[in-house]
Amino acid sequence: MKKTIIENGTFITMNEKTPVINGYMTMEGNRITYIGEQAPSPEATFDERIDGNGKLYMPGLVNTHGHAAMSLLRGYGDDLALQVWLQEKMWPMEGKFTAHDVRTGTKLSVLEMLKGGTTTFVDMYDHMNEVAEVAEESGIRACLTRGVIGLCSREEQDAKLEEAIQFAKSWHGQAGGRITTMMSPHAPYTCPPDYIERIVQAAHDLNLPIHIHMSETAREVEENINQYGARPVAHLEKLGVFSRPTLVAHAVHLTDEEIAVLKNHDVRVSHNPGSNLKLASGVARVPELLKAGVIVSLGTDGAASNNNLDMLEEIRLAALIHKGVSGDPVAVPAWDALKLGTLYGAQSIWLGDVGALKAGMKADFIALDMQQPHYYPRTNVISHVVYAASSRDVTDVCIDGRWIIRNNECLTLDEEKIKFEAQQCFERLTAG
Amino acid sequence: MKKTIIENGTFITMNEKTPVINGYMTMEGNRITYIGEQAPSPEATFDERIDGNGKLYMPGLVNTHGHAAMSLLRGYGDDLALQVWLQEKMWPMEGKFTAHDVRTGTKLSVLEMLKGGTTTFVDMYDHMNEVAEVAEESGIRACLTRGVIGLCSREEQDAKLEEAIQFAKSWHGQAGGRITTMMSPHAPYTCPPDYIERIVQAAHDLNLPIHIHMSETAREVEENINQYGARPVAHLEKLGVFSRPTLVAHAVHLTDEEIAVLKNHDVRVSHNPGSNLKLASGVARVPELLKAGVIVSLGTDGAASNNNLDMLEEIRLAALIHKGVSGDPVAVPAWDALKLGTLYGAQSIWLGDVGALKAGMKADFIALDMQQPHYYPRTNVISHVVYAASSRDVTDVCIDGRWIIRNNECLTLDEEKIKFEAQQCFERLTAG
């Protein structure tokens, strides 16, 4: 197995005791084998030596909620009321999406995510075989799920559930273990209770987690109460969702009691600050969730409601908005925000061996060009990454021990072809 | 005078009728001479022809509030309560700043701003001759002011006011007109009323505008009421501040009545969303200010409370946070946010001939690399700039008809030297 050493780099480890190490990191195959201030033993030989001077290395970013194919609709409908945006812009276009569109949009998104330092992404969408194939080809790590909407006939429900089961079964553990899967009732408001129960049963049978949108808007919470006599958390708890390991997306509108229930069931929350702000959904109670001990991570949501897939931006938003909205300048400090985007991201999808730089962990890491003016003076690199860095500072991306981006260039995907095809898809979709 | 044509570019003009033009722009000397879809007359000859294909051109960004030298303290004190941050971190270090520190920190900031597409900046600080000389040397446009704090003896007050007057007088209109000046009582809570009145009188005598911090925190408003029996707006109005053209920074905590007073006096507001969030000052009432017809622009504030000088980030924050906090998804749409960062920025400092791309305007503009994945598909370039772009997409910067950044390289400042010296200054300041 190939042995690599990075020398004289600055490493953010995500380890509480030694958060920043100036020194050396080695990897062998797909694992980190050493990280420390001292050079490894002089007898050790390496196939590749990398000069880490001026680079900032850190764990790859983990994007825990999104719909990659929606990048085809980036900028197609902004600054609209949510229902207008959905009903007049998104749904009519998404209804026309072919497997080819999903593949192309996903490629565009994966390219953008890789170039911006995201090494793992969660995706909930349709035509998921396309998404899985793009993940496999690109080298990215992915946790994928066919999101099913149950507002349809029993036959359609059956067919969708069967498709979701087949997808989850056939792709779980594939691409050398880079791909895992989940089961996804889309949301409490798009799936009748009995359908949710059947999906939960399937997740039990497959021994897989559940991913679901929950409590994104105040209106949705209100309607859940009107329709089912309970807020979404109690509703999903009653339907047995939380008997499975669960990742909920958004969770903007929560009561103290609901936060306690999520903590009790060890439910993980994907906080999507950019999308929640842009769609005017509100500001999630992240400081309270973290205080309660809930594992919170970050997601971009789809590029149509963000409008990029920039995880450093989500980390910064998480560090900034909760201070400004709560009035507490120590809410979500830089270190916590960085954990949301890395370590907690991995934990949110039950990956124990990514999200930190440590011997034995998988080699999922990124390098940032610290020679830009916004990294000076060298006061505190954690602060610089959270409050000053740009995703365009990312120069190199390594996933599962394989270099995917090197000197800003993607080695696995054809960037020019993807941009050309994405433009073609969009023009075809809007033409007729 | 040198004649230049940019061919086949995409131009965001900031003109309501033709916000985006795919075509041609020409400049002669320091002025834009033509912009349109058609090529200028075939007889026209040019000294330089630039291929604009794949580039997005737009007016340079205008940063209307900051303290450039504070970049030396970037990341030096984050995630602290405001008083701790000020009293234990900022003030002791700033107290040690020499003229050389101010010059070096300002160079670092101007370099960062230029590379990120800012063509004009407002600066309120001490040792302002250093700042002016950096502006002159770098080629950036600047509106500069010696901020005076009056919590001192009459002799010190006199000396500071005299220094501010001399600075304002000697630099106004300098650097080929690129530098203008203002008079600045630092804030209502740092200047006794009679001192503010003397500064206002000086501004009258010099026929210059006033720049002042105002209503940044709720506590400051409360203390103003306790001390002077009035909220800051009424207090400053009574002291005659608004009898001068005035730019107030922050204005986070405003009543409806105060907004009406600001509008009445045509006071301009520099909104600093990043700094206000990070310091937990709150969220300014920008939608209400805009609705009332107040000219609002954007500022980064100093890099110690931001922690970068990225105006595209401020534009994005302005477009996002007011939606999320108000619950109105059409609050501060992309076009409005872009105006805050360009046209309204120029108007905030009474510059009538920058902030838009139009024949007759000064040639202050920037180019962004639209070949990055986050600009695809090409649905709406205004949306892409506001919601998806990165300041690191900026490749070229032209100010007053002179190329300052070309292919990401600064032609007027020595980047490596500045970064080295900034690091040295910081190490000396923290050493003892």
pLDDT per position as a tens digit, B59-117: 999 999 999 999 999 999 999 987 889 889 999 999 999 999 999 999 999 999 999 99
Give the residue from B250, B263, B260, B25 showing the smallest Cα distance to B122: B250
From A32-46, A48-62, A202-216, the region with the lowest mean pLDDT: A32-46
B283/A380 Cβ within 8 A? no
Confidence of residue A44 (pLDDT cuts 50, 70, 90): confident
B392/A329 Cβ within 8 A? no
B238: contact with A, CB 8 A cutoff: no
**Quick one: average pLDDT of B260-284?**
97
Best mutation site among B10, B71, B79, B217 for testing chain A: the one with the most A CBs within 10 Å? B79
B418: contact with A, CB 8 A cutoff: yes
Tell me what percent of the residues of chain B surpass a pLDDT of 70. 100
- Tell me the average pLDDT of chain B: 97
B373/A418 Cβ within 8 A? yes
- Predicted confidence (pLDDT) at residue A164 exceeds the cutoff of 80: yes
CB B398 within 8 A of CB B58: no
Q: Is A247 helix (H, G, I), strand (E, B) or coil?
A: strand
**Quick one: average pLDDT of B370-381?**
97
Q: How confident is the model at residue B225, as a pLDDT? A: 98
Q: How confident is the model at residue B81, as a pLDDT? A: 82
Q: How confident is the model at residue B333, as a pLDDT? A: 97
**Quick one: average pLDDT of B166-179?**
98
Give the residue from A396, A391, A393, A392 showing the smallest Cα distance to A407: A396
Token pair recorded at residue A65: 């909620």
| B216 known member of a binding site | yes
B392/A74 Cβ within 8 A? no
- Predicted confidence (pLDDT) at residue A81 exceeds the cutoff of 90: no
**Count of alpha carbons within 13 angstroms of residue B120, beta-carbon side:** 33
CB B270 within 8 A of CB B291: no
| Backbone Cα Rg of chain A | 21
Tell me what percent of the residues of chain B surpass a pLDDT of 90. 97
- Predicted confidence (pLDDT) at residue B432 exceeds the cutoff of 90: no
Q: How confident is the model at residue A212, as a pLDDT? A: 98
Measure A26 CA to nearest chain B CA, in Å. 29
Confidence of residue A82 (pLDDT cuts 50, 70, 90): confident
What is the chain B residue with the closest CA to A108? Answer: B373
Q: How confident is the model at residue A42, as a pLDDT? A: 80
CB atoms within 10 A of CB A194: 11
B20: contact with A, CB 8 A cutoff: no
Residues B1-37: pLDDT tens digits?
Answer: 999 999 999 999 999 999 999 999 999 999 999 999 9
Confidence of residue A65 (pLDDT cuts 50, 70, 90): very high
Token pair recorded at residue B360: 């007759």
B216: contact with A, CB 8 A cutoff: no
Give the residue from B58, B55, B116 showing the smallest Cα distance to B371: B55
Token pair recorded at residue B369: 């690399």
CB proximity under 8 Å: A 96-115 to B: 108, 111-112, 115
Domains of chain B: 3-59+353-410 (2.30.40.10), 61-348 (3.20.20.140)
| B222 known member of a binding site | no
Measure A321 CA to nearest chain B CA, in Å. 6
ipTM surpasses 0.90: yes
